[in-house]
Amino acid sequence: MKTVLRSIAATAVLLAGVSLSHAASHGGNKMVGGAEMFPDKTIVENAVNSADHTTLVAAVQAAGLVETLSGEGPFTVFAPVNDAFTALPEGTVETLLKPENKDQLTKILTCHVVAADAMSDAIMKMVDDDGGVHPVKTVGGCMLNIRYEGDKVMIEDETGAVANVTIADVDQSNGVIHVIDKVLLPKG
């Protein structure tokens, strides 16, 4: 009986060690697009592993922004999922990815980037401080209006379209990603 109890105890200790090791390997890191996001990796290093951001990654590569978004930062990136790009009018993404449209693509992508490291609690405080809507200028020169309801952060672009943050506070070595459900567009 003692041997059985020792064997059960040893198995429990071993399983606890495996569970702790597994938990430590994930360390509470956010999962995005089926991939673990590591706070010691850059925005680009993490984004390339997200199955939900393949279109965004292709666009960043086509616009020549990989080096920039791999840089020191800090950056806050509102990262649209593939479905957000699919929701654009048919042919839009293919047209934007053409070399002759690089400037327009770069403008759109940089309208998703703010030169700051803004976690959602800081964003909500800015919204509160501004009476319910916080205007923010992006790296691309776009003006976004950010508000929230409950714990749901929403970003209005220059066309009046509203994107919802679906996964907030994905910490990166050079900033933070907030996953959104729409592509933010500049006016005109």
Quick check: helix, strand or coil at residue 187?
coil
**In this predicted structure, what is the pLDDT of residue 3?**
33
Quick count: other Cβ atoms within 10 Å of Cβ 109?
A: 25
pLDDT per residue over 171-181, tens digit each? 999 999 999 99
- Read out DSSP for 79-122? EE-HHHHHTSPTTHHHHHTSGGGHHHHHHHHHTTEESS---HHH
Spatial CA neighbour of 105 closest among 187, 185, 182: 185
pLDDT per residue over 33-77, tens digit each? 898 999 999 999 999 999 999 999 999 999 999 999 999 999 999
Which class would CATH give 31-180? mainly beta
